[in-house]
Each structure stands twice: as C-alpha cells, then as structure tokens.
Amino acid sequence: MFTQFVFPSGSYKKNISSQTVNKLCRLIRDRKSMEEWIAHDFRRSLTTILTSHDVALHVSEKMLGHSLGGVLEIYNKNEWLPEQQEAYDKWANLILK
C-alpha cells in the first residue's frame, strides 16, 4: 500500500509515534547486544557524515529542520532546496553502498 509516510502506522493514515520508534530502537539494540543509542542519533549521524562529505553545514541544518539562528536567519530566507536534494541523494548513495 502506498503511503506518504516513511514509517506509517498500522492504518497507513499517519506516521508511527515517537514512542513506537524509541521502543523499536530499544528492541533492536537489546536483541543485537549493541551499545546504547537512541533514534535521535540518526540525526546526529546524518549531519556529521554529510558535512564530512562536503555538504555545507547550513544545508545539513536545513535538512534537519533547524533554523539557522541569529542574523543569518533574519536576512537569509533561502531554503537551499536544490542543495538539499543533492545532499539527500548523496546520503542515499552513502547508506546504500
């Protein structure tokens, strides 16, 4: 079934809750005897890895939905959408290698 969500609920009409994501992460971590990590670590990994592969920091911050803060946020309203698309493509290539 097609859905607009990456992680749909059972009805496919909304996304799964953050509590469900965290429970799934704990389940994976426990079953695989992994060191502790949380779902938020995926966001940290995305920006760290992309900026180490020549994606500009302001682009990775926009990908995470962060505001840029300070004077930059006031004067520059660019969303860098083409750069974000390029960075998402780069991310996909990196994680699918």
Q: Domain check: are 29 and 49 in the same one?
A: no
Encode pLDDT of 30-42 as tens digits. 999 999 999 899 9
Same-domain pairing of 33 and 47: no
Number of domains into which the chain is organized: 2
Mean pLDDT value across residues 58-78: 91
Q: What is the pLDDT of residue 93?
A: 95
Residue 83 has pLDDT above 80, yes or no: yes
For residue 32, give its domain range: 1-37
Higher confidence at residue 6 or residue 48? 48
Identify the sign of the CA torsion 69, 77, 40, 8. Answer: positive
Q: How buried is residue 60: exposed, middle or buried, by Cβ count under 10 Å (0-12/13-18/19+)?
A: buried
Give me the pLDDT at residue 6, please: 82
Rounded to two decimals, what is the model's pTM?
0.74
Instruction: Express as a percent the part of the chain with pLDDT over 90.
Output: 69
